[in-house]
Amino acid sequence: MICSDDTLSIRRQTALLGVSRSSYYNGPPKPESEENVAVMNFMDTEYHVRPATGVRKLRNLLIRDGIVERIGVDRIRRLRRKMGLQTVYRSPRTTIPGPSSMIRPYLLKDVEISRPNQVWCTDITYIRMGKG
């Protein structure tokens, strides 16, 4: 729809159409190469068999199976991101409640507080230690 003749500038034509000028210059996306398609097919089948396989292990498998001679981990990451694949792994369980972490009862429920200093409360949520 955009012509490069001298009657209207490209800036004016894109403004009339409501598109950005960069989208005119970029053009349609280029398709992946045949080698990348073969790598993506291998990664897809490997992901369905073992979804916990990381990028470095995938690189070693691709080279071992003869799909490619050399491949970088950044290229594998880019292709995985394009395919929407993410490594499945167990997250660390850093906050595991112990048996003594039950909910404590509220002891002042039936107490009528009628004078100052009748009830005190303190809350220690953070104590700075010397070594962490």
Q: Are residues 19 and 56 in the same domain?
A: no
Within a domain: 106: no
* Residue 6 lies in domain: 1-29
- Both 47 and 22 in one domain: the answer is no
pTM (two decimals) = 0.54
The most confident of 7-21, 63-77, 95-109, by mean pLDDT: 63-77
Label residue 69 by pLDDT band (50, 70, 90): very high
Exposure string for 44-73, b = 16+ CB within 10 A, e = fewer? eebbeeeeebebeebbeebeeeeeeeebee
23 and 39 together in one domain: no
For residue range 9-48, what is the model confidence (pLDDT) as tens digits? 888 888 888 888 877 776 677 899 999 999 999 999 999 9
Q: Does residue 11 sit within a domain?
A: yes
Question: Which pLDDT score is estimated for 27?
Answer: 65
Residues 38 and 74 in one domain: yes
Residue 99 lies in a domain: no
Measuring CA to CA, which residue among 27, 26, 40 is closest to residue 81? 40
Tell me how far apart the alpha carbons of residues 77 and 71 are, in angstroms, rounded to a whole number.
Answer: 11
Q: Are residues 38 and 76 in the same domain?
A: yes
> Domain count of the chain?
2
Task: Answer yes or no: is pLDDT of 52 > 70.
Answer: yes
Tokens of residue 44, six digits: 């897809």
Q: Across residues 101-126, what is the average pLDDT?
A: 85
b/e per residue, 93-127, with b = 16+ CB within 10 A? eeeeeeeeeeeeeeeeeeeeeeeeeeeeeeeeeee
Mean pLDDT of 56-70: 95
pLDDT at 96 over 70: yes
Q: Are residues 75 and 43 in the same domain?
A: yes
